[in-house]
Structure 1
Amino acid sequence: MRRSDQRRDAAVALYQRDVTKRPLDELLDGAKPFTRDLALGADQHLAEIDSEIGANAHGWTIQRIAPLERAIMRIAVFEIHHRPEIPAPVSISEAVDSAKRYCGAEAPGFVNGVLSAIAREAGLEEAGAATTEEASA
């Protein structure tokens, strides 16, 4: 299974937990190690991650962001801060691709903007992010 598929599965597990209130461990039963690492890691740092997303989602509170967009960004922010072996542009690009596939038309640009701002704050601005054209394609 490709890592992009495992990122999606991790985001879906976080989304399902938020919507159904089922335990994350139960939702991750049988998941690949990378999927488990991402979902459990994001969950472990949830307050910090949500604070960053909220601070960079200008005009939006974390609760107002659509649950799947929020879950996708949580995985990417976890990677940006806690998986230095994964370049920030990869995390951002994967999140934007997931938003294009599974969320509304405005989601890719929103996800790209929030995650790019977080990467800049982390000193990774030179790493780049999806361009506006890529985010809206």
Structure 2
Amino acid sequence: MADIDAWVWWLIGAAALGIPLVITAMPELGMLAVGAVAGAITAGMGGGVVLQVIVFAIVSCALIAVVRPVAARHRAQKPQLATGIEALKGKQAVVIERVDGQAGGRIKLGGEIWSARSLDAEATFEPGRQVDVVEIEGATAIVM
């Protein structure tokens, strides 16, 4: 055990941190593993044990301080590409059957026929008119 160089121990530590990273998906472990690799590089360049630990701590803390907030911001963002009914909101449709706020009607939206009703209970849209889809409730498009 005493014959193994310090940089090898740092790499073993990096691998030991990398395995739980894959299992638990905790990115902090990956940042600590990168800090251990930095410690291995320091050891390989002839730095003392104290310097190796300092480099490990600085790199690990810096990564956690910088990368973690960026990752949290990305995790909180809505997807750039809307799919499903979210993609239909804001689209234009053509009225096929008279649409009003009470009985509803039919529109052609994205090549498909949808039941629809007016957002404003007083508004009425005649066939052939273009409307904007505001919301989707179940299988009914709310238009204005």
Superposition TM-score, scaled by structure 1 size: 0.28
Higher relative contact order (CA 8 A, sep 6+): 1
Query: Which structure has the larger Rg?
Result: 2
Higher strand share: 2
